C-alpha cells in the first residue's frame, strides 16, 4: 500500500493528514498557533510555531493510524501564501514572518511600481504590486529594518521553510512562487528583471520546481523528530489555493472552486495565461504543469465569522461546550432563522483591507443599514451574506474574462455549512456542490506527492482517482431575487466610503506619529 502524507500549513493552524491512493483520509491531526498583530493592519507569525505544529501533527497522525511508516511513499506540502521568511547564512530565522494578510506595505508597493513600471510588472508577474505579496514585505524590511535585511541570505515562503526543516533544501514551486511578485508567471521562473530593478540578489531565491516534482528527501534529523522514514520524498506541493484546487478537482476548465477559509477565494483553472489588466484578480501558475489559474481573494471571509464568534458570541461558545458541538453550528442555526437579506442589513468584510476587487489596504469592515429591529441572528447572517457577496465580486470578474464557471465546488471551513453553500448557489446563480473529502489543500498536496512518486501518471489522473463530488444544491429563486436586488447596493458602498477610508487611514497614521 502506498500511503501519502499531506501537510497544510494554514493561518490558524497546521493540519496533517494520511491518505490512501483512493484519497481516503486514514488519520488527521491539527495544531494551532498564535497570530501577532503589533500594529493595526499588521500580521505576523513565528516560523518556530509552524515547525512545532508540523512535528506534533505528523507524530499524532502516525500514532492514530498505526501503520508501518515504511509504507508511506511520499509527502506533499501546502501552505498559506505570500508570507516572508528571512534566513541568515546559517539557516536561522531572522524575524517573525510577515504573513499574507499584513497591510503595512502600501509605500513599498508604490516603490515597486516606480522601479519596475506598473504595466511591465503586470506583464511579468501577472499582477500589480500588492501589500499582501512577498516582494513589498521584503522592501519594507529593507526600509525599516536594514540590519535584518543586511543579514539575509535566503527568502522563503511559509511551507518552504517547513521543507527546509524537513529536507535541508532551499526550494519552492511555481504556484506559491507566483505570489511573491518575483516570478515570471508566463515563463514559470524567477524574473531576473524584477529582482534586478528591486535590488534583490538572485541567490536569495530558492530553486523553483513544478508542483508535483520531488524537491528533497527527509533528513535523518527530521526523521527522528517526526517519526517518518529517513529519505522519504517530499514533493514541491502548492500554495494553499492551488493545492486546495487539486484536492477539489479544479484541474480542467468549467469547474470553479469557492473556498471560505480565513480568507475567501474563487479559483478557476485556465490552459493559457489570462491577465486582468486592472489587476483585480490574480493570475498564478497552477499546480498542474503547463496550466495557470485565475484567483479572486477576499481578505476577511472566515476571519469575519471567527471575529464575530470571538467578540459577540460568548453565549453560543458556552452553550456549545455544554452540548459538545461546534459554536459555529449554533451560530448557523440562528442565521437560518433570519430572512435572506437580513431586512437590509449589509456587512462589508474588509477587516484586513481588501484585495479583490478593490486592492485597498485602507478598507475597513462595516455594518450598513443597522436598525433597532435587527437581532443577533440578523447580524450573524449578514456576516455570512457579506462574505458571499465578496466572493460574487470575484466570480463576476472571472466570468468577465471569459472563463467558464458552470459548476462551483465549495471548500474550506465554510463548505461545512449547508446555509453558506445555499447562499453561494443563490448569489452565483449556479449549482454548488460539496466534496466527499473536506481535506482540500492537504489532499491536494498528497496527490501532488503521489504524482511525483509515480503512484499516478498525472495531476488530472490523480484527481480522477481520489476526488469525488458530494451533495449539491441548486439556487433558490426566491432568495436569489432578494440578493439580486441588494448586491448592487453592496457593490456601491465601497465607492461611497472610499474617501472616508482614506481619511481615517491618514488620521490614524498622524495619531501614531504624535
346-403 pLDDT tens trace: 999 999 899 899 989 899 999 999 999 999 999 999 999 999 999 999 999 999 999 9
Of residues 292, 305, 234, 238, the one with CA closest to residue 72: 234
**Distance between alpha carbon 109 and the CA centroid of its chain, in Å?**
21
Q: What is the mean pLDDT of the chain?
A: 95
Tell me, what's the pLDDT at 228?
97
5-16 pLDDT tens trace: 999 999 989 999
User: What pTM does this model have?
Assistant: 0.85
Which residues, 6 or more positions from 300, have their beta carbon under 8 angstroms from its beta carbon?
263, 264, 307, 349, 350, 351, 352, 354, 365, 387
pLDDT beyond 80 at 437: no
Query: Is the bond preceding residue 357 a cis peptide, omega within 30 degrees?
Result: yes
Residue pair 51/31 in contact by the 8 Å Cβ criterion: no
Percent of the chain with pLDDT over 90: 88
Q: What are phi and psi of 181, to 5 degrees?
A: 80, 10
Q: For residues 111-133, give the mean pLDDT.
A: 95
Q: Round to whole Å and give the CA distance between 9 and 282.
A: 21
Q: Round to whole Å and give the CA distance between 26 and 253.
A: 30
Q: Is CATH 3.90.1720.10 what the domain over 3-248 is classified as, yes or no?
A: no
Q: Round to whole Å and give the CA distance between 428 and 432.
A: 9
pLDDT beyond 70 at 322: yes
Q: For residues 221-229, give the mean pLDDT.
A: 97
Domain ranges of the chain: 3-248, 302-401+486-513
- The pLDDT confidence band at residue 113, using thresholds 50, 70 and 90, is very high
Tell me, what's the pLDDT at 256?
93
54-112 pLDDT tens trace: 999 999 999 999 999 999 999 999 999 999 999 999 999 999 999 998 989 999 999 99
Active site residues: 240
Q: How much is the CA Rg of the chain, to the nearest whole Å?
A: 22
Q: For residues 154-169, give the mean pLDDT.
A: 98
Tell me the C-alpha to C-alpha distance, in Å, between residue 124 and each of 291, 325, 421.
16, 48, 36
260-317 pLDDT tens trace: 988 899 999 999 999 888 889 999 999 999 999 999 999 999 999 999 999 999 999 9
Here the contacts of 453-456 (C-beta below 8 Å, separation 24 or greater) are 453/2, 453/4, 453/73, 453/74, 453/214, 453/233, 453/235, 455/2, 455/4, 455/21, 455/73, 455/74, 456/21
- Residue 86's CB: how many other CB atoms inside 10 A? 26
Tell me the C-alpha to C-alpha distance, in Å, between residue 194 and each of 125, 149, 156.
9, 18, 17
Q: Round to whole Å and give the CA distance between 49 and 96.
A: 10
Tell me, what's the pLDDT at 218?
98
Helix, strand, or coil (residue 187): coil
Residue pair 373/325 in contact by the 8 Å Cβ criterion: no
Q: Round to whole Å and give the CA distance between 58 and 232.
A: 13
pLDDT beyond 90 at 208: yes
Q: Round to whole Å and give the CA distance between 209 and 285.
A: 11
Residue pair 239/10 in contact by the 8 Å Cβ criterion: no
Tell me, what's the pLDDT at 1?
65
Task: State the number of CA atoms in the 13 A half-sphere of 498 facing the CB.
Answer: 9
Helix, strand, or coil (residue 313): coil
Task: State the number of CA atoms in the 13 A half-sphere of 251 facing the CB.
Answer: 23
Question: Residue 339 burial by CB count (10 A; 0-12/13-18/19+): exposed, middle or buried?
Answer: exposed
Residue pair 392/427 in contact by the 8 Å Cβ criterion: yes
Q: For residues 423-431, give the mean pLDDT.
A: 97
Q: Round to whole Å and give the CA distance between 266 and 246.
A: 14
- The pLDDT confidence band at residue 413, using thresholds 50, 70 and 90, is confident
Q: For residues 392-415, give the mean pLDDT.
A: 91
Helix, strand, or coil (residue 133): coil
- Residue 210's CB: how many other CB atoms inside 10 A? 21
Of residues 255, 259, 472, 231, the one with CA closest to residue 356: 259
Residue pair 379/367 in contact by the 8 Å Cβ criterion: yes
For domain 302-401+486-513, the CATH superfamily is ATPase, nucleotide binding domain (3.30.420.40)
For the CA atoms of 131, 256, 309, 379, what is the dihedral angle to 10 degrees?
100
Of residues 121, 109, 225, 115, the one with CA closest to residue 167: 225
Amino acid at each position: 500500500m502506498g500511503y501519502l502524507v499531506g501537510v497544510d500549513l494554514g493561518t490558524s493552524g497546521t493540519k496533517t493528514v494520511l491518505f490512501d491512493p483512493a484519497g481516503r483520509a486514514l488519520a488527521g491531526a491539527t495544531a494551532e498557533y498564535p497570530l501577532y498583530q503589533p500594529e493595526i493592519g499588521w500580521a505576523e507569525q513565528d516560523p518556530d510555531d509552524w515547525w512545532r505544529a508540523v512535528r506534533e501533527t505528523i507524530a499524532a497522525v502516525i500514532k492514530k493510524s498505526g501503520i508501518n511508516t515504511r509504507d508511506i511513499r511520499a509527502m506533499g506540502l501546502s501552505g498559506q501564501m505570500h508570507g516572508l521568511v528571512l534566513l541568515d547564512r546559517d539557516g536561522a530565522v531572522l524575524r517573525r514572518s510577515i504573513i499574507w494578510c499584513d497591510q503595512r506595505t502600501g509605500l513599498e508597493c508604490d516603490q515597486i511600481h516606480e522601479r519596475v513600471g506598473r504595466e511591465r510588472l503586470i506583464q511579468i508577474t501577472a499582477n500589480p504590486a500588492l501589500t499582501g505579496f512577498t516582494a513589498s514585505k521584503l522592501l519594507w524590511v529593507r526600509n525599516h529594518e536594514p540590519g535584518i535585511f543586511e543579514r539575509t541570505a535566503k527568502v522563503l515562503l511559509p511551507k518552504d521553510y517547513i521543507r527546509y526543516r524537513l529536507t535541508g533544501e532551499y526550494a519552492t514551486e511555481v504556484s506559491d512562487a507566483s505570489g511573491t511578485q518575483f516570478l515570471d508567471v508566463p515563463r514559470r521562473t524567477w524574473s531576473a528583471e524584477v529582482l534586478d530593478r528591486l535590488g534583490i540578489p538572485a541567490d536569495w531565491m530558492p530553486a523553483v520546481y513544478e508542483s508535483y516534482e520531488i524537491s528533497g528527501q527527509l533528513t535523518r534529523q527530521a526523521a527522528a523528530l517526526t517519526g517518518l522514514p529517513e529519505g522519504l520524498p517530499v514533493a514541491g506541493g502548492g500554495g494553499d489555493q492551488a493545492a486546495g484546487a487539486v484536492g477539489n478537482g479544479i484541474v480542467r476548465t468549467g469547474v470553479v472552486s469557492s473556498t471560505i477559509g480565513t480568507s475567501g477565494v474563487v479559483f478557476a483553472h485556465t490552459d493559457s495565461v489570462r491577465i486582468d489588466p486592472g489587476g483585480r484578480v490574480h493570475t498564478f501558475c497552477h499546480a498542474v504543469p503547463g496550466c495557470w489559474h485565475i484567483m479572486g481573494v477576499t481578505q476577511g471571509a472566515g476571519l469575519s465569522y471567527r471575529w464575530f464568534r470571538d467578540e459577540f458570541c460568548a453565549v453560543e461558545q458556552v452553550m456549545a461546550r455544554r452540548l459538545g458541538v461546534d459554536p459555529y453550528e449554533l451560530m448557523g442555526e440562528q442565521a437560518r432563522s433570519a430572512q435572506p437579506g437580513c431586512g437590509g442589513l449589509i456587512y462589508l468584510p474588509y477587516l484586513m483591507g481588501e484585495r479583490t476587487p478593490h486592492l485597498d489596504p485602507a478598507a475597513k469592515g462595516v455594518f450598513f443599514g443597522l436598525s433597532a429591529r435587527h437581532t443577533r441572528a440578523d447580524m450573524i447572517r449578514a456576516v455570512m451574506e457579506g462574505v458571499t457577496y465578496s466572493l460574487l465580486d470575484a466570480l463576476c470578474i472571472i466570468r468577465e474574462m471569459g472563463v467558464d464557471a458552470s459548476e462551483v465546488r465549495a471548500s474550506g471551513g465554510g463548505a461545512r455549512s449547508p446555509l453558506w453553500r445555499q447562499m453561494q448557489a443563490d448569489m452565483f446563480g449556479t449549482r454548488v456542490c460539496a466534496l466527499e473529502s473536506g481535506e482540500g489543500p492537504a489532499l491536494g498536496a498528497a496527490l501532488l506527492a503521489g504524482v511525483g512518486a509515480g503512484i499516478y501518471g498525472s495531476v488530472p489522473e490523480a484527481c480522477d482517482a481520489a476526488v469525488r463530488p458530494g451533495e449539491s444544491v441548486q439556487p433558490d429563486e426566491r432568495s436569489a431575487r432578494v440578493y439580486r436586488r441588494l448586491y448592487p447596493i453592496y457593490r456601491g458602498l465601497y465607492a461611497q466610503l472610499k474617501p472616508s477610508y482614506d481619511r481615517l487611514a491618514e488620521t490614524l497614521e498622524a495619531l501614531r506619529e504624535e
